[in-house]
Chains A and B, each alone.
Chain A
Amino acid sequence: MVAEEPHVQDPPKYVRRILFGILPPEKIRKMSKVEVTTPETYDEDGYPIEGGVMDTRMGVIDPGLRCRTCGQPAGKCPGHFGHIELARPVLHPRFAERIKDVLRATCPECGRVRLPEDDIEEYRREVREGIRPVKSIAAEVVERAEDRESCPHCGAEAPKITYQKPTTILMDDERLWPVDVRSWLEKIPDGDVEILGFHPERARPEWAVLTVLPVPPVTMRPSIILETGERAEDDLTHKLVDIVRVNLRLKESLESGAPEPIIEDQWDLLQYHVTTYIDNEIGGVPVARHRTGGKPLKGIVQRLKGKEGRFRQNLAGKRVNFSARSVITPDPELDPFTLGVPKMVAKELTVPERVTEWNLERLRKLVLNGPDKYPGANYVIKRDGSRIRITEENKEQVAENLEPGDIVERHLMDGDPVMFNRQPTLHVQSELGFRTKVMPGKTFRLPAACYMGVGFNADFDGDEMNLHVPQSEEARAEVHELMGAYVYHLWPPKDGHQDVRNSPIHEAIVGLHLLSRAWIPLKEAYQLLEEVKKEGDWFDPSEVELEPEAEYSRDFERKIHRLEFVCGHPSPGEPLVTGRQLLSVFLPEWLDGVKIRNQVCPEDEEHGTVVIKRGRIVRGFLDEKVVHGIMGELVHRYAARKVSKGEGYPWFEAAELALKVMDKVGRLGLRFVTRYGFTLGMDELEEIYRRFREEAEKICRRAIKRARKLIREGERRLREVEEEDVCNRSRVERGEMIERNIESEVMATLDRPRAEVERLLEENRDLFNPAYIMPESGARGSITNIARMALIGGQQAIMGERPHRAKHNTEHIMEKIVNYSYTDRVTPHFEKSLIPGIKEGGFVRHGFFEGLDMVEYFLHAMSGREGLIDKGFRTADSGYLHRRYVTTALDLIVDEDGRVRDSANNIIQLAYGEDRVDPAKKWGDGMDVDRVLDVVKEVVLEEEEEE
Chain B
Amino acid sequence: MSGLEDRIEGLLREVCEEEDVELPVALEREIVERVAEDEDLKEADEETLRRVLRALVRNYKVRMIEPGDAVGVLAAQSMCEPATQMTMRTFHLAGVAEIDVTTGIPALERVLSLPYQGPPTWVIYLRLKEPYNRDEEKAEAVARKIRETRFEDLVREIEVNPEERVIEATLDREEMERLGVDEDELTEFVREFTGGACQVEGDTLRVVLTDVESISELAELANELREAVVKGIEGVLHASVQYDEEEEEYYILVRGSPDGTSGRPPKWISRRARNSKVAKRAYLMLKLMQLDEVDATRVNTNDPKVIDVLLGIEAGRNAVIEQLEDVYESQGISVDRRHFMLISDMMAFWGELRSVRSMGGYSIMELKGSPLTKAAFEYVSRVLTETATSGDVEELRGILENIIVGRPVPVGTGTVEVTVDYSRFREAEEEEE
Residues on A lying within 8 angstroms of B by beta carbon are 2-3, 5, 14-22, 94-95, 98, 133-135, 197-199, 201-203, 208, 279, 301, 304-306, 309, 311-312, 315-316, 318, 426-428, 474, 478, 482, 492-496, 498-499, 639-640, 643-644, 646, 649-651, 725-726, 728-730, 733, 736-737, 740-741, 744, 799-800, 870, 874-875, 877-878, 881-882, 884-896, 898, 900, 902-906, 908-909, 911-919, 921-923, 926-927, 929-930, 932-933, 936-937, 939-941, 943-944
- How far is A466 from B394 in the complex, measured between Cα atoms in Å? 34
Contacts of A914 in B (CB 8 A): 24, 338, 341
Q: List 16 A-B contacts (CB under 8 A).
A: A20-B394, A94-B381, A203-B390, A311-B376, A495-B336, A644-B55, A644-B58, A728-B155, A891-B397, A893-B70, A894-B66, A894-B68, A906-B349, A908-B349, A918-B63, A929-B34
Q: Is the CB of A917 within 8 A of B80?
A: no
User: What B residues does A726 contact at CB under 8 A?
Assistant: 156-157, 172
The answer for the CA separation of A398 and B417 in the assembled complex, in Å, is 36
- Report the bound CA distance from A618 to B196 in whole Å: 91
Looking at the complex, which one of A98, A208, A890, A922 makes contact with B336 (CB distance below 8 Å)?
A922
The answer to whether A494 and B82 touch across the interface, beta carbons within 8 angstroms, is yes
Return chain B residues, CB-CB under 8 Å to A311: 375-376, 380, 404
Hey, which chain B residues are within 8 Å of A893, CB to CB?
Answer: 68-72, 410-411, 415
Residue of B nearest to A205 (CB): B389
B-side interface residues, number (CB < 8 Å): 130
Other CB < 8 Å A-B pairs besides A316-B376, A494-B81, A889-B73, 7 of them? A311-B376, A729-B152, A737-B95, A744-B92, A890-B70, A893-B411, A916-B64
CB–CB A741/B153 < 8 A: no
Asked if A884 and B381 sit within 8 Å, CB to CB, the answer is no
A728 to B65, CA, bound (A): 62
A911 cross-chain contacts in B, Cβ below 8 A: 24
Question: Complex Cα distance A737/B94, Å?
Answer: 10
Partner of B63, one of A318, A493, A922: A922
- Measured CA separation A846–B209 after assembly (Å): 68
User: Is the beta-carbon distance between A426 and B81 smaller than 8 angstroms?
Assistant: yes
Contact among B64, B97, B336, B400 with A887 in the assembled complex (CB-CB below 8 Å) = B400
A729 touches B153 (CB 8 A): yes
Cα distance, A555 to B349, chains bound together (Å): 73
**Binary A-proximity of B189-214 (CB < 8 A = 1, otherwise 0):** 00000000000000000000000000
What number of A-B contacts does a CB cutoff of 8 Å give? 377
- CA gap between A930 and B349 in the complex, in Å: 36
Cβ of B175 within 8 Å of any chain A Cβ, yes or no, is yes
Q: Chain B contact residues: over half helix, strand or loop, or mixed?
A: helix
Q: Which of B252-260, B280-288, B366-374 contacts A (4 or more CB under 8 A)?
A: B366-374
Contacts of A881 in B (CB 8 A): 80, 83, 105, 108-109, 112
- Residue among B69, B75, B152, B399 making CB contact with A903, cutoff 8 Å: B399
**Residue-wise interface mask of B (374-393) relative to A, using a CB-CB cutoff of 8 A (1 in contact, 0 not):** 01110011001111111111
Interface residue? B275 (CB, 8 A):
no
Contact A18 B396 (CB under 8 A): yes
CB neighbours of B342 from chain A (8 A):
889, 892, 900, 908-909, 912-913
Residues of B within 8 A of A94 (CB): 381, 384-385
Greatest chain A CB density within 10 A among B152, B367, B388 is at B388
User: Which B residues between 75 and 112 are near A, CB-CB below 8 angstroms?
Assistant: 75-84, 86-90, 92, 94-98, 104-105, 108-109, 112
Taking the closest CB of chain A, its distance from the CB of B144, in whole angstroms, is: 13
Chain A neighbourhood of B394, CB < 8 A:
17-20
Residues of A within 8 A of B79 (CB): 885
| Other-chain residue from B60, B74, B369 in contact with A927 (beta carbon distance below 8 A) | B60
With A478-B413, A740-B97, A908-B342 already in contact, the answer to whether A892 and B70 are too (CB < 8 A) is yes
- Of the stretches B217-225, B304-312, B418-426, the one at the interface is B418-426
State A884–B386 Cα separation when bound (angstroms).
21
The 4 closest A-B pairs by CB, nearest first: A199-B391, A892-B72, A913-B338, A889-B72
B59–A918 touching, CB < 8 Å? no
Q: Are B376 and A312 in contact (CB under 8 A)?
A: yes
Task: Using A884-B358, A892-B71 as known contacts, say yes or no to A927 and B425 having CB atoms under 8 A apart.
Answer: no
Q: Which residue of B lies closest to A730 (CB)?
A: B153
How far is B59's CA from A906's CA once the two chains are assembled, in angstroms?
30
Q: Do A936 and B97 touch (CB < 8 A)? A: no
Contact of A891 among B78, B399, B418, B429 (CB under 8 A): B399
> In the complex, A781→B421 CA distance in Å?
58
Chain B minimum-CB-distance residue to A16? B396
Write the B45-57 contact mask toward A (1 if CB under 8 angstroms, else 0). 0001001100110
Residue of A nearest to B358 (CB): A884
Across the interface, do B62 and A870 meet the contact criterion of CB distance under 8 Å? no
The chain B residue with its CB closest to the CB of A310 is B380
Give the docked Cα–Cα distance between A898 and B83 (Å): 28
Complex-state Cα separation, A311 to B404, whole angstroms: 8
Residue on A nearest B348 in the bound complex, by CB: A908
Question: In the complex, what distance in Å separates the CA atom of A904 from the CA atom of B396?
Answer: 10
CB–CB B346/A892 < 8 A:
yes
Taking the closest CB of chain A, its distance from the CB of B46, in whole angstroms, is 13
